[in-house]
Structure 1
Amino acid sequence: MSERVKVTIDGISVEVEQGTTILNAARLIGGEIVPPAMCYYSKLEGSGGKCRTCLVKVSKGSEKDPRPMPKLVASCRTTVMEGMEVQNITSPEVKEARKGVVELLLINHPLDCPVCDQAGECHLQDLSYEHGSAATRYEFDRRSFERRDIGDKIQLHMTRCILCYRCVYVADQITDRREHGVLGRGDAAEISTYIEKAIENDFSGNVIDVCPVGALTDRTFRFKNRVWFTKPVDAHCNCDKCSGKVTLWYKGEDVIRVTARKDEYGEVESFICNDCRFEKKKTSDWVIEGPRKISKHSVISANHYEQLAPPPVIRKNPALKEANKEQFERVIRY
């Protein structure tokens, strides 16, 4: 068995395996003490350490060396030690630093939430409400880029990008080839494809799900609806490329988009293929499991339709097809 160490975060102690990061230790505790993370993604190797939104204060390094760390550290990159004490929401210094990080991220990010497809699901939007400032001190021209189609299903709005690298790691680690990356340096850095080459592989659509802002969007869903007017329903199918477990987003009886299922931290539970995401937009393509459970703090929960839904009927053979159809009609009804 691996050695376990005890760490205290905002006065709450937890035992974790040696080598665990402060961020993941905080996630084991849960609640408000979990630092926000815009670039870290537990399922993507090498992610983290770029956005600096997860900064925390280590007030005690360890039992052997109780001295505090001289500067705030990125919790997604810093591993815990025996006896370590960490301050997150209890530290005014951390709150002030996080406010500065959000201001930095918003320097070039356009305030176009009213027309952005990511509105209601945007982590930067949540951060700006919690830590953002009503005004900006930036007096120079913001950088801007033309919107660009990278393939026939994905549009890149580089002006919104915060360079978290998540989409690059997805292409590196779950697809058979990568055609895009970060080009340029400094304020000229951008996510792009080499000589406008399209991103074409069976799992390319996952770059949309991992993007924490509205920089990479689904062209088949753009400007069709607001997420809080839709009804998310869990469904699955027999797919030979991926798990086939998805969330269908309904407007009335129409499936207007398909996404992978996400956990409480907005991370994909299981990556899905492009056939499931873009090609299967009919209810008959899926086995309906029931309403997606949405956090009461999310704007998506405004529908409250899940309270009216009966237990799901899972279609196990063709004889239950009609029963599954009736279940679907009840699920999407207000």
Structure 2
Amino acid sequence: MAEGTPLFKVTIDGRTVEVPAGTTILQAARKIGGEVTPPAMCYYSKLQGSGGKCRTCLVEVSKGSDKDPRPMPKLVASCRTTVMDGMEVKNVTSEKVLDARAGVVEFLLINHPLDCPVCDQAGECHLQDLSYEHGKADTRYEFQRRVFEKHSLGPYIQLHMTRCILCYRCVYTADQLTNKRQHGILDRGDHAEIATYIEKSLENDFIGNVIDVCPVGALTDRTFRFKNRVWFLKPMNAHRECPNCCGKVTLWNRGDEVFRVTARKDEWGEIEDLPDGKTAWICNECRFEKKKTSDWVIEGPREINRHSVISQGHYVNAVVPNETFPEVMGREPRIKLQIHDVSEVNEPDRNISLIEGPAHSDDFKD
């Protein structure tokens, strides 16, 4: 933040935070965290120009500013609206917002197939989380869904356009991270699709990052497809000396086997920043070719939000429950029942521990 930049106070769902001028409502909400933060399917802070397409981050501005306290007449996209000093915003405390967000989810799911049982994105899909938290149990759509043919974008990336929500993240990633973008949006309206112009493969050394930025299962890793479910894998932080990228990744292991490699993501599902402020994008060599534990220096288990299904059974910082028996009885447990006193199975004077080898029925005959 430049010296002398004014700070604006903004209140979101009753919680106030000070942010520099030019900060969007969504960025201010992320500083507060928790349920105050609107969901985002197209906005990605590391990609210039992203946001303003999915409308899932709509919020109600009940007070424009201290100088002009009038509320904004319509819901606004929090990823595109900058804060003003004294602004008051409603997110989950607004019935208008919740109703509009449910409508947006319904529109996103109109053409989306029910592929969750076979989709590799299941368990870490932002659309799954959004539909669970803001969607409805049924649909009013009765017409035929839009269907596209599957496209192979080279040996590493599989495109399922039918699942795509046209968030444009992968286009911005290729535009800003690679030397030459080879795919984009073709056609318009209901026929719009992500595709390459002449069935080209995406071969840039950093193009694998489109898999990490995709919020749904439209772009998946062909080296990982159908091999395992993410909630059966253990994410581990690891690094290696890579001449092409930062080399800081998350390994997804089951036992000693590495099933896939991804970039490290923060609590918003975006790729983390490095200490020097740069984004920790990773190259194709690290992502697709280094699939042995010996290729990496393991740092330790990756902390996963307990809200995620991936964290179930992934016991990081787990607390072992206390034994309640000593507290109730006032002493350590001892033999609770002398079985010989209540059963006639064994003779009371027969010590089984003194028998050489396994005990047999012959040892208890008179």
Instruction: Flag the structure with higher helix content.
Output: 1
Q: CA shift at 1:303, angstroms?
A: 1.8
CA contact (8 A) 2:234 2:314 kept: no
Separation of aligned partners in 2, 1:114 and 1:197 = 29
Aligned residue runs from structure 1 range 1-334, under 5 A: 1-269=4-272, 270-307=280-317
One-letter identity of the residue aligned with 2:316: E
Q: CA shift at 1:307, angstroms?
A: 4.7
Separation of aligned partners in 1, 2:317 and 2:295 = 25
Separation of aligned partners in 1, 2:314 and 2:147 = 39
Separation of aligned partners in 2, 1:24 and 1:205 = 27
Deviations 1:129-161 (A, max 9, x none): 111111111121100011110011000000000
Following superposition, which runs of at least 4 residues in structure 1 exceed 3 angstroms of deviation? 305-308
Q: CA shift at 1:88, angstroms?
A: 0.2
Gaps of 5+ in 2: 273-279, 319-366
> Is the partner of 1:25 in helix, strand or coil?
helix
CA contact (8 A) 2:237 2:250 kept: yes
Deviations 1:29-68 (A, max 9, x none): 1111100000000000000000000000000111111111
Name the residue aligned to 1:326: none
One-letter identity of the residue aligned with 1:296: R
> Is the partner of 1:77 in helix, strand or coil?
coil
Separation of aligned partners in 2, 1:141 and 1:290 = 48
Q: CA shift at 1:253, angstroms?
A: 1.1
Deviations 1:238-273 (A, max 9, x none): 111110000000022100100000000000111100
Separation of aligned partners in 1, 2:159 and 2:39 = 24
Separation of aligned partners in 2, 1:3 and 1:307 = 40
CA contact (8 A) 1:231 1:303 kept: no
> Is the partner of 1:238 in helix, strand or coil?
coil
CA contact (8 A) 1:59 1:67 kept: yes
Deviations 1:285-310 (A, max 9, x none): 100000000111110111234358xx
CA contact (8 A) 1:151 1:200 kept: yes
Seq. identity, %: 76
One-letter identity of the residue aligned with 1:298: S
Count of residue pairs the alignment pairs up: 308
Name the residue aligned to 1:321: none
Separation of aligned partners in 2, 1:79 and 1:9 = 13
> Is the partner of 1:114 in helix, strand or coil?
coil
Name the residue aligned to 2:321: none
Gaps of 5+ in 1: 309-334
Separation of aligned partners in 2, 1:303 and 1:14 = 35
One-letter identity of the residue aligned with 1:115: V
CA RMSD of aligned residues (A): 0.8
Separation of aligned partners in 1, 2:45 and 2:30 = 11
> Is the partner of 1:246 in helix, strand or coil?
strand
Separation of aligned partners in 2, 1:248 and 1:25 = 32
